[in-house]
């Protein structure tokens, strides 16, 4: 029984010491940190409520006084503007970057540059939020790698062979067929081989030698041209007139003369006109006068 009483007394002393430590810590936070650690003001009253059943009346009174002071300070802090947590340490660091105040001219210039550069709407909104919040502008991202200009597989194979290239021996070079000359093939030509070239090729292939006289073609005798006189032309035109007159007489017998009569008469009149011109030409030439058509 005495052991139980001693254990309960030590437990009460321990709870009292915890409450004192908490109250001292809260006083320190209220003086130094104020609103930045307001979330702790909500945690510690919950811890105090859990230990409230194990406290004496005097201990409950001290905790209640501390909680009332905390609530009054919180209401007062809500009315005051937000302050930097420490008066000794300037604003900045890893978690609290310094704020910038962009002027209206600078903001307008940045927006004009964004408009001219044709940026995406997502990037524009991001930069606008940085300007409004006074944060430094984001760094530009590196350009994308253009994969369309990458070398193809053949280029990679050539580069791979170039890395593994070594000096070759003469036998290996000859075996690769570099020194082999291609067979000569004449280019196609529109000019076909002549008969004389064919005969010479036949002689070379057969081993015979034929005289050149046999290769020469037999020349045809030239026909003697006789001079055509004006009288011959007139006689030929008269024959044409006779042929047309006979053909028209045959058409008259068949009953088709009316269809061709005018046409044949015009042709005969034209031929007679040519005959008359030729007669005058021969007459003037006989007299020694130059005739001009």
pLDDT digits over 216-260, tens only?
A: 566 776 666 667 788 888 889 999 999 989 998 898 888 888 888
Side-chain half-sphere of 161: how many Cα atoms within 13 Å?
A: 5
Q: How far apart (Å, rounded) are the C-alpha atoms in residues 186 and 197?
A: 16
Q: How far apart (Å, rounded) are the C-alpha atoms in residues 187 and 185?
A: 6
Burial classification of residue 49, based on how many CB atoms lie within 10 Å of its CB (0-12 exposed, 13-18 middle, 19 or more buried): exposed
Q: Which is more confident, 169 or 42? A: 169
Domain ranges of the chain: 2-79, 104-133, 230-287
Q: How far apart (Å, rounded) are the C-alpha atoms in residues 50 and 59?
A: 13
pLDDT digits (tens, 9 = 90+) for 35-72: 544 444 455 455 545 555 444 444 444 544 544 444 44
pLDDT digits (tens, 9 = 90+) for 66-107: 444 444 444 444 444 445 556 666 556 666 666 778 888 988
Task: Kindly give, in sequence order, each residue whose CB lies less than 8 Å from that of residue 55, ignoring residues fewer than 6 positions away.
Answer: 15, 16, 19, 63
Radius of gyration from C-alpha coordinates of the chain: 64
Mean pLDDT of the chain: 71
Q: How far apart (Å, rounded) are the C-alpha atoms in residues 214 and 197?
A: 14
User: Tell me, what's the pLDDT at 185?
Assistant: 74
pLDDT digits (tens, 9 = 90+) for 124-136: 898 888 888 888 8
- In this prediction the pTM is 0.26
């Amino acid at each position: 029984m005495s052991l139980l009483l001693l254990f309960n007394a030590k437990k009460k002393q321990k709870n009292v010491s915890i409450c004192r430590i908490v109250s001292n810590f809260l006083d320190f936070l209220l003086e130094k940190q104020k609103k930045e650690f307001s979330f702790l003001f909500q945690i510690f009253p919950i811890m105090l409520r859990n230990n409230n059943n194990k406290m004496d009346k005097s201990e409950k009174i001290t905790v209640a006084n501390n909680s009332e002071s905390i609530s009054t300070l919180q209401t007062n802090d809500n009315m005051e503007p937000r302050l930097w947590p420490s008066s000794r340490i300037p604003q900045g660091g890893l978690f609290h970057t310094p704020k910038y105040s962009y002027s209206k001219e600078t903001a307008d210039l940045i927006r004009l540059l964004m408009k001219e550069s044709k940026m995406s709407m997502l990037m524009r909104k991001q930069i606008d939020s940085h300007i409004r919040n006074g944060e430094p502008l984001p760094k530009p991202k590196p350009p994308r790698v253009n994969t369309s200009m990458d070398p193809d597989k053949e280029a990679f194979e050539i580069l791979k062979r170039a890395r593994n290239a070594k000096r070759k021996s003469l036998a290996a070079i000859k075996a690769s067929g570099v020194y082999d000359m291609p067979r000569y093939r004449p280019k196609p030509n529109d000019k076909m081989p002549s008969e004389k070239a064919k005969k010479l090729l036949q002689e070379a292939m057969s081993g015979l030698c034929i005289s050149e006289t046999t290769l020469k073609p037999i020349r045809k005798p030239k026909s003697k041209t006789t001079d055509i006189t004006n009288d011959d032309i007139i006689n030929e035109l008269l024959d044409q007139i006779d042929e047309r007159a006979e053909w028209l007489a045959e058409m008259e017998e068949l009953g088709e003369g009316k269809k061709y009569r005018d046409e044949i008469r015009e042709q005969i009149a034209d031929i007679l006109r040519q005959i008359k011109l030729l007669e005058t030409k021969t007459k003037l030439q006989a007299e020694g006068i130059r005739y001009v058509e």
